[in-house]
Structure 1
Amino acid sequence: MTDPGLIDGRYRLVRPLGRGAMGVVYEAEDENLRRRVALKKLSAVGGMWAGDEALRRFNREAEALARIDHPGVVSLYDSGLHGDVPYFVMQIVDGVDLATLVEAGALTSGAACAVGLGMAQALAAAHEAGVLHRDVKPTNVGITRQGSVVMHDFGLARLAGESAITRTGVMMGTPQFMAPEVIMGAAPGPTADLYGLGVCLHFMLTGNLPFGPGAEVGAVVDIALGAGVRPLSTGLFPFEPGKLALLVDQLCAREAFARPQTAAETARLLEPFVEDGGRSALADLVAANVRDTAVRQAHESPPRNCAPAESGPEYDWDENVLPNQRVRRRDEFRPLTLSTKTRRLVLSSMTPQNAASRQREAVSLVLRGELQEAAQMLSSITQVCLSSLGPHHPTTLTGQFWQAVCLARLGAGPEALELFSRVNRHTDHRGNDGHD
């Protein structure tokens, strides 16, 4: 008998990773191959795009991924219908996105150029396959724990030879990283993606958004079409002017003809700036970020209210708002993160009854070495158990024990020992009270 909890009899949803007006992305378990995947389901009914238009854009994203075969682009595994709801299945990228990595500050030039080179190589493969990304920005760039760069979210992709899917008066993309010619309504070309790459490099090297973190959309557009991105080569930044600064300035040029014309050319220009060990430096940064996040999650207090978070738009603009009236959303280029809205979604779907089952899944992740995902899941489970079952309950203590194991394996030795000690104190307390 088919398990009704499986998508297409095969994919079991584990937790939401992000959601928007058009789709929801879940971490899922492929029961056939016993591997973790990302599964995206179409969910828009009356959002920014409705009916056939939403379906066309959803299918275009799947087609774009299917065309590209490159380690720097997230892989498409499968697609289908669950009832009448389309879905597709992708590689799940372990690590962090570029925006998260830069939260701690600017990257070294070697690490930044290693990311830029990975992005350029991925875009070269996409462009060769006839796919324009059209939404190159830090949240769409994943950095794995091995220091590899993987680009994802081709939801705004344009395929060669096909007309655009858009509506009059709707701006597609994120203005902080959108090429000026696209803002003005011109058809995007490969150099528009390279502009986004250049702005990402500017962001990595300075640690700041090019037009300021609180800039209103209208002001961003005015600057992008006017003065443009402030050049690195002016010496106004704590960054030594030189050939790298000139290359970044060329990529961020207002006029498309002034930029490098292909992603392959951009990759060749970036290669001399990638220091030996640049990928290792990236891997170290990701490892530190994952470790620090796990430590922070292990010390979070149980939430008083686990109500589901409101979903945020996957794409940028309300069709009923005119371009000159749009207001910048908070965290415009970071609509959802696991540490905020999505974590509340995870918590809202968990109960004490299913916590033990989820805990077994998390332990399996620990034993397979998938520590980042295990730490996130155990943190959510433990918070629910602390709130609903109390600190002395066996399920709570077991969750905290495996949290400590995760911390130890992620390199957070002192924090792991502290958590082990906490578990031991509660275990001793239970013994003294005559409990099993």
Structure 2
Amino acid sequence: MSDRDALLGGRYRLLRRIGLGGMGVVHEAADSALDRRVAVKILSMAAEADEAGQRLERFRRETQALARIRHPNVVAVYDSGVHPAGPPFLVMELLDGVELQRLVEKYGPLEPDVVSWIASGMSSALAAAHAAGVLHRDVKPSNVRITRSGRVVLQDFGLARLVEESAITHIGFLVGTPRYMAPEVIRGEPPGPRSDLYGLGLCMYLMLTGESPRGGLEDVGALVERAIDHEVPQLYGNQLAGSRRIPDRLAYLVDVLCAADPQARPENAAELQTTLAASTDMAARVAELVQGCVRDQALGLLDGIAAAGPPAEEDLPEYLEPEARPAAAGHPAPLSLSDATRRMVMGSMTVDSAASRLREAVNLVQRGELQEAVRVLSAVSRVCASALGDAHPTTLASRYWQAVCLARLGAGGEALALFAQVGMYLDTGRNVEDG
């Protein structure tokens, strides 16, 4: 098989899995034609024939939906296709930064001005989608990405439905996430723009209070019952809002967006901009918060490498995914590696192959794609240390550039420690030569 045949669509080299959902798997990939990183969503067809047909139809609609929207707050679609004898795929921009859910998990309740900025970006995205005749149908914190520049991006239109088309789901089958679904949708009524706004309201509630308005319930039945029978607690005039110093305008807006009756909600997302009144100056503050999350992730990779030791056969990816599996009590989350690296390492890593990955990572650093670079460098550093040794030049070079990333992400102390570690090996080498 030629190198081109091994590429998805003859163009995209899959690097690591970055998402998994009901419709398929999302990979980070390298676009060999334009020399850039992209996100590739591959449809899962492992289902009964009728269900597979529905997934294929929904995937087709997602492609059409995204192609109809051109907006900075909506993830951009670049390409789509079907791999020979394989499933269809969708190619989108690869976003840096973190999900809104992660931002709240780290900082708890967010500053009201930060909430206004993020909610404004979300409402702008929904306004653009609705104007194009597209419903998102799954607005939730994990589908909102905040980039390192502070840009708010609504992603994963996998459940989007073009407004003028008929539904393709079975009667009585819920499509969406119950924790963030509007009551009328759970009752089986057709969704509309106001249903997306309800999801926005719940996201704002989470940002302002640090708590999910539907609690920590995990059981789908209990979530559905609560969504139908219990309204979202009001914030306006509430003691909680007072203790959190939530401005009345935001508290009232959340209450209106989360109204049980869809007719009581704003008619469209464009109406929200005046109330939100987000200052453009907040982009820098939001970017600062995201930077803190990214820095934590980078340090987590560094700590994981130090604690994990040499990789085992079942634990050998090319790019580290520390949150892929739960950590055991008292131990860091295990590191996982892609099948590509497992084959590479078990087949004996060569100096050339390690150096190739290192050059790829350095290019990412030089382009400012630090979040992706640190993942690559963390994996290369660990694999090289195991296969080539701690003192090997490629191992030291990968750790040097890892330290550069940490320094640029604001983790100066950890960067200096890693620089010192590299310097120690270099000094030892010089002393041996001098002796």
Tell whether the structures are fold-level matches, with TM greater than 0.5.
yes
> Is 1:59 aligned to 2:63, yes or no?
no
Task: Give the distance between the partners of 1:60 and 1:45, measured in 2 at CA.
Answer: 19
**Structure 1, unpaired ranges of 5+:** 310-336
For residue 221 of structure 2, the aligned residue among 198, 206, 218 is: 218
The aligned residue for residue 119 of structure 1 is 122
The aligned residue for residue 307 of structure 1 is 314
Kept in 2, the 8 Å contact 1:29–1:36? The answer is yes
Deviations 1:52-88 (A, max 9, x none): 2221111111111001111111111111122033112
Counterparts in 2 of 1:397 and 1:347: CA distance versus 1, 3 Å: farther
Counterparts in 2 of 1:247 and 1:62: CA distance versus 1, 3 Å: same
The aligned residue for residue 276 of structure 2 is 270
Task: Give the distance between the partners of 2:392 and 2:101, measured in 1 at CA.
Answer: 38
Counterparts in 2 of 1:434 and 1:44: CA distance versus 1, 3 Å: farther
Kindly tell me the number of residue pairs found equivalent between the two proteins: 406
> Is 1:341 aligned to 2:324, yes or no?
yes
Counterparts in 2 of 1:346 and 1:58: CA distance versus 1, 3 Å: farther
Task: Give the distance between the partners of 2:112 and 2:158, measured in 1 at CA.
Answer: 30
Task: Give the distance between the partners of 2:372 and 2:178, measured in 1 at CA.
Answer: 32
Q: Secondary structure at the match of 2:200?
A: helix
Counterparts in 2 of 1:48 and 1:393: CA distance versus 1, 3 Å: farther
The aligned residue for residue 16 of structure 1 is 17
Task: Give the distance between the partners of 1:21 and 1:157, measured in 2 at CA.
Answer: 13
Task: Give the distance between the partners of 2:295 and 2:101, measured in 1 at CA.
Answer: 17
Counterparts in 2 of 1:173 and 1:427: CA distance versus 1, 3 Å: same
The aligned residue for residue 334 of structure 1 is none
The amino acid across from 1:391 in the alignment is D
The amino acid across from 1:37 in the alignment is V
Q: Which has the higher contact order (CA 8 A, sep 6+)?
A: 1
Note the C-alpha offset of 1:171: 1.6
The aligned residue for residue 399 of structure 2 is 400
Counterparts in 2 of 1:215 and 1:33: CA distance versus 1, 3 Å: closer
The aligned residue for residue 150 of structure 1 is 153
The amino acid across from 1:294 in the alignment is A
**Structure 2, unpaired ranges of 5+:** 326-333
The amino acid across from 1:87 in the alignment is F
The aligned residue for residue 313 of structure 1 is none
The aligned residue for residue 330 of structure 2 is none
> Is 1:96 aligned to 2:98, yes or no?
yes
Aligned-residue Cα RMSD (Å) equals 2.4
Note the C-alpha offset of 1:433: 5.5
Counterparts in 2 of 1:157 and 1:385: CA distance versus 1, 3 Å: same
Note the C-alpha offset of 1:247: 0.8
Task: Give the distance between the partners of 1:339 and 1:135, measured in 2 at CA.
Answer: 26
Counterparts in 2 of 1:396 and 1:49: CA distance versus 1, 3 Å: farther
For residue 189 of structure 1, the aligned residue among 189, 192, 195 is: 192
The aligned residue for residue 316 of structure 1 is none
TM-score calculated relative to the size of structure 2:
0.87
Kept in 2, the 8 Å contact 1:21–1:44? The answer is no
TM-score calculated relative to the size of structure 1:
0.86
Note the C-alpha offset of 1:344: 5.0
Task: Give the distance between the partners of 1:108 and 1:48, measured in 2 at CA.
Answer: 49
The aligned residue for residue 423 of structure 1 is 422
The aligned residue for residue 321 of structure 1 is none
Deviates more, 1:401-410 or 1:48-57: 48-57
Q: Secondary structure at the match of 1:69?
A: coil
Deviates more, 1:130-139 or 1:411-420: 411-420
Identity %: 49
For residue 106 of structure 1, the aligned residue among 106, 109, 112 is: 109
Task: Give the distance between the partners of 1:426 and 1:76, measured in 2 at CA.
Answer: 46
The amino acid across from 2:250 in the alignment is L
Kept in 1, the 8 Å contact 2:322–2:336? The answer is no
> Is 1:244 aligned to 2:250, yes or no?
yes
Note the C-alpha offset of 1:157: 0.4
Q: Secondary structure at the match of 1:360?
A: helix
Counterparts in 2 of 1:307 and 1:118: CA distance versus 1, 3 Å: same
The amino acid across from 1:133 in the alignment is H
For residue 291 of structure 1, the aligned residue among 279, 289, 295 is: 295
The aligned residue for residue 257 of structure 1 is 263
Task: Give the distance between the partners of 1:48 and 1:138, measured in 2 at CA.
Answer: 32
Deviates more, 1:43-52 or 1:71-80: 43-52
Task: Give the distance between the partners of 2:22 and 2:230, measured in 1 at CA.
Answer: 33
Task: Give the distance between the partners of 2:379 and 2:196, measured in 1 at CA.
Answer: 37
Task: Give the distance between the partners of 1:11 and 1:226, measured in 2 at CA.
Answer: 48
Task: Give the distance between the partners of 2:40 and 2:218, measured in 1 at CA.
Answer: 34
Indicate the structure with greater helix content.
Answer: 2
The amino acid across from 2:135 in the alignment is L
The amino acid across from 1:267 in the alignment is Q
